[in-house]
Chain A
């Protein structure tokens, strides 16, 4: 928990932590209603709520309880979605956004890993750099935004810098903590085996620190995506965030909603991608248990 707080001190929602805990005691012990509904499969239970929302939404739009500028009909959103998909507008914007995230995230990843490894391995370097880093991390991405706008303008550089800052902080912190957290007894074993410095790093320290580092990478990507949306909302003339702003300005809420759905889907896909990679990368750990 201690680490969670540090990582997310930058202020952005962590990737999903929750739904893995199925065999849990509380629900069962409190004898919830679940026992009274034994026949319905889980996936079916997930649908009533969204369907009810959709129904109310459709009715509200159909009878014009609210103005279409405030809440467009679901079919209008679906149609806009289809149109912008077919016209390539959505793809073009998505591509731009993804490229930006990729560029910013890569910079943040390289910088974060380098900084984290250096601070983790060298106490002297840590003494010099860590306080400044903490102060830098304390100001959220949005706090830096006006300053950076003055310094570098509102072009591509602004987006890349902010996105990389968003990714850099959690990656640095987790890499540093991960290396610090390598159990001393591993190091002792390696000493007994007379490992060279390089062997020590490649066979002991990095494998042992990989899980927290990877966590940091995942948080970093989530943060990067969040930062991208903010920057595009505030200062951009293309990309998914711009689609949202543009739709909002013209009161075309169908465009806004379509873009919001894509933003959510991409965020989800990015996180799932890293989760899959994690299974590959950290699969060997499970064999031990």
Chain B
């Protein structure tokens, strides 16, 4: 097979390199006259400009600030609600069906409603982001608490733990992998929702707005730069969450969170 010419660790680079070379050749030899076909170097130039002028940082800061505020509210609410659902059968019967019904509504369908109720500014965006983080955190917290093994609770009873001790020393630690998974998912959803909110509630500053502007003015370089930044941010959030998860769950003796 001809493929054996490429050493294993370099194989992953073959396709990206081919893409860039084709792209470069398409520009260099004028295969297309579309104004959308810009040189790879132009994207680099835009990236340098954006970084040097600080535009990208202020847009990113605005996006991330909203992202994290919304995420914090949603995740906290989700933890409390999920824990209540998990621990109390009565609460589950009262609120569970309503929750599962609301969950069915496609996330982004909330935006038009929220925009009527909270306006087009940051309040609506943050409300939407917290909703995005809320659902996965609730589901996973509930799941985690419900799957605490009965043996552990029996031990707690034998040791005559009170309610606080049972929660702090048995239930929460036992449920923590699932809870962290929920928080991790919540973080990813909140980032996706940040972009969606910026597209749909076009006001203010943010990386999504930068991309929308780029599209409206047919600035392909700006849009491509935006795609790369969005990917990098998603990747970093994911990475940070996995690190924290691995740290926090290290006592369990196996690296549940690492992939």
Contact = CB atoms under 8 A, between A and B. Distances in A.
Interface of A: 1-2, 4-6, 8-14, 16-19, 21, 24-30, 32-34, 37, 42, 45-46, 48-50, 53, 69-70, 124, 127-132, 135, 138-147, 149-151, 225-226, 229-230, 233-234, 241, 244-245, 247-248, 251, 253, 256-257, 259-260, 263-265, 267-268
Interface residues of B, number: 90
Contacts of A50: 98, 101
A21 B147 contact: yes
B111 interface: yes
Contacts of A129: 15
B90 A26 contact: no
A146 B87 contact: no
Given A1-B177, A50-B98, A128-B12, A12 B235 contact: no
Contacts of A132: 12, 15-16
B115 A248 contact: yes
Contacts of A127: 8, 11-12
Interface stretch (B51-59, B68-76, B137-145): B137-145
When A and B form their complex, which 6 residue pairs have the shortest distance between CB atoms, in order from nearest? A131-B12, A11-B192, A25-B150, A46-B97, A34-B89, A45-B93
Contact of A267 (B13, B105, B257): B105
Nearest to B215: A146
> Which label, helix, strand, loop or mixed, suits the secondary structure of the A interface?
helix
A74 B92 CA distance: 26
A140 B195 contact: yes
A270 B98 CA distance: 19
Nearest to B152: A25
Interface of B: 1, 3, 8, 11-16, 36, 86-98, 100-113, 115-117, 135-136, 139, 142-143, 145-150, 153-154, 157, 163, 166, 171, 177-178, 181, 184-185, 188-189, 191-192, 195-196, 199-200, 208, 211-212, 214-215, 218, 220, 223-224, 226-227, 230-231, 234-235, 238, 242, 256-257, 259
A17 B138 CA distance: 11
B113 A260 contact: yes
Contacts of B89: 27-28, 32-34
Contacts of A13: 103, 107, 135-136, 189
